[in-house]
Amino acid sequence: MTSSAEAAGFWILAPIAVIAALGLLFARKAVHAALGVALVMVILGIFYIMQNADFLGVVQVFVYTGAVMMLFLFVLMLVGVDSSDSVVETIKGQRWASLLLVVGLAGLLFFTIGATVVDEKTVQAGIDKVVATNADPGNITGVAELIFGQYVWIFEVTSALLITAALGAMVLAHRERLTPRITQAEWAAKRVRDNRDVAGLPAPGVYARHNAVDTPALLPDGTPSSKSVSRVLVARDQVATTDSLRDVERHMEREIEEGGAK
């Protein structure tokens, strides 16, 4: 029924897939869980290919590992690096309800799979049919004939599903702009029109001993310019003072004077 190579591949990959799937449940960090799922998806793709479903296998990797998992990663990263699961029940009775549903699903799966007749002859006939299709019109053509023939209605409905997805994403994630965006050119024009900081704000750290972004630039009279430091750093109270540098400066000036006097 199955070739030995296929069996070997299955017994190597299936445990990895199961471990990765368990990783989803037990991984501490959300991103590790997502990576576990990505691994499961890749291995499922390989299983499909091993079952002679080339197109399906590659599409599994292409769509699930590529697109869906990327979305998943982005969502996980929305919640932050070290977010961990909260065990607080947000909806009352949620735990019992989900337990009930899990038991239901397990029962359904158990009986459905148990009721399947694994008849060697039928299975072999199915495999032969797939192999014959792959050889003559080809695997992709076979899939295409099903999509655009037998399942055409489902295919068309899929497009409606995609519209729903776009709508949902816009409703959840899109933020309307209240004011029109000011472009770079408009900013420049505004600066000239208002005649303030026409040449741009002063750059930070133009002091000879230090050029970090938290060091304010010095004005000609030696006072630090508050405009030259990012207001984020000011808010975080991270701005370096120039006092120590000024001591150095005085020291140097003294040295120069001494040198001139000699």
Give, as ranges, the residues between 131 and 160 that touch other proteins (CB under 8 A). Answer: 134-141, 143-145, 147-148, 152, 155-156, 158-160
- By C-beta, is 8 or 219 nearer to other proteins? 8
Binding span for other proteins by CB under 8 A among 25-33, 99-107, 116-124, 217-225 = 25-33
Q: How far is the CB of 87 from other proteins (least distance, A)?
A: 21
Binders of other proteins among residues 221 to 250 (CB under 8 A) are 233, 236, 238, 240
Binding span for other proteins by CB under 8 A among 32-40, 85-93, 116-124, 250-258 = 32-40
- By C-beta, is 7 or 103 nearer to other proteins? 7
DSSP state of 27: -
Q: Are 18 and 39 in contact (CB under 8 A)?
A: no
| Contact pattern from residue 77 through residue 96 relative to other proteins, giving x for each residue in contact according to CB under 8 A and a dash for the rest | xxxxxx--------------
3-state class (DSSP) for residue 201: coil
Tokens 């816009």 -> residue: 170
196 binds other proteins (CB under 8 A): no
Binders of other proteins among residues 94 to 133 (CB under 8 A) are none
Binders of other proteins among residues 41 to 70 (CB under 8 A) are 42, 45, 49-50, 52, 54-55, 57-59, 61-63, 65-68, 70
- The H-assigned helical ranges of 146-183 are 152-173
Name the region of 52 (left: φ>0; alpha: ψ -120 to 50; beta: rest).
left
- Total binding residues toward other proteins, as defined by CB under 8 A: 80
Return the closest-CA partner of residue 68 out of 114, 24, 34.
34
Sign of CA dihedral 197, 203, 204, 208: negative
Q: How far is the CB of 133 from other proteins (least distance, A)?
A: 10
- By C-beta, is 135 or 261 nearer to other proteins? 135
Q: What is the DSSP string of 37-90?
A: HHHHHHHHHHHHHHTT-HHHHHHIIIIIIIIIHHHHHHHHHHT-TT-------S
Q: How far is the CB of 188 from other proteins (least distance, A)?
A: 14
Number of neighbouring beta carbons within 10 Å of residue 107: 10
